[in-house]
Homo-oligomer: A and B are copies of this chain.
Amino acid sequence: MAARHEEIAEELRQAIDRGEYPVGGTLPTETELSARYGVSRGTVRQAVAALTAEGRIGSRQGARRVVLGNRRSQSFAELRSFAQWAHAMGRTATGRVLDQHRRPATLEDAEKLQIKPGDEVLQVLRVRGLDGEPVLLERNVYAAWMADSVERLPADCISVVQALYEDIGMIFAYGEHVIDAVAAGAEDARLLEVRRGSPLLRIRRVTTTPAGRPIEWSDDRYVSGTVSFTVANSIGSNPLARQAGQA
């Protein structure tokens, strides 16, 4: 089912987790791996490239690959969907829609969703909880062509992403995230049950379909101390970037 190079990548991940290749040690050579799995060297290279991109192994020309860590990172689905992530962590996610209404698109909406100002959009305000505690305040704006499907969802829908996939086969494929910290405003504080001015981790995000069409943008605010984000990068690939801020 899965491509052979993905299978090999997964086997290597598990071998690292098992301690078969200890942190700080080296991986077998490409030639040895291709012999062991009965594939060509190119296929092995695709597999190890995946682990390199995840930051689990380091690679230098001329030297064997080094195991950097055995941290397990979440899949895209788990990153995008709060519910799926919580489930993978063995925690219970809750969710509740506090407000939901259609309105004309502002200039900001139009730019982010690649639509015209004044076009209808659907704004949704949700609170998400983890094991009963509210930890996340979500402000979403959906493009008009998504609005009907979103409105049909129950107010206490746990996983919006999964529900939309099951209903209309919608797939969230690409995301761009901007991360910073803000103080809780009056509304934030009330809904998240924290003091006004408490630090919140803010993630602003635009999500698109596999074809590159923007689906929604979102302003997520996490209560400090409940959730953190990790990024691995290397001299060869750097997914994370720093930006000077205008508030």
Chain A interface (Cβ < 8 Å from any Cβ of B) = 23-24, 53-55, 58, 60, 63, 66-69, 71, 73-79, 85, 89, 91, 114, 130, 171-183, 197-202, 208, 210-212, 222, 224-247
Docked Cα-Cα span, A53 to B60, in Å, equals 19
Is the CB–CB distance between A241 and B67 below 8 Å?
Answer: no
Contact status A208-B58, CB under 8 Å: yes
Q: How far is the CA of A71 from the CA of B176 in the complex (A)?
A: 10
CB distance from A77 to the nearest CB of B (A): 8
Q: Once the chains are docked, how many angstroms separate the CA of A77 from the CA of B236?
A: 10
Give the distance in Å from the alpha carbon of A226 to the alpha carbon of B247 in the complex.
7
Instruction: List the B side residues contacting A85 at CB < 8 Å.
Output: 242
A238 and B74 form a contact (CB under 8 A): yes
Closest CB-CB distance, A3 to chain B, in whole Å? Answer: 11
Enumerate chain B residues within 8 angstroms of A75, measured Cβ to Cβ: 238
Residues of chain B with a CB closer than 8 A to A237's CB: 53, 76, 239
Contacts of A58 in B (CB 8 A): 173-174, 208, 210-212
- Say which residue of B68, B212, B240 sits within 8 Å of A230 (CB atoms): B240
Contact B69 A239 (CB under 8 A): no
Q: Whose C-beta in chain B lies nearest to the C-beta of A244? A: B89
> Is A79 a contact of B130 with CB atoms below 8 Å?
no
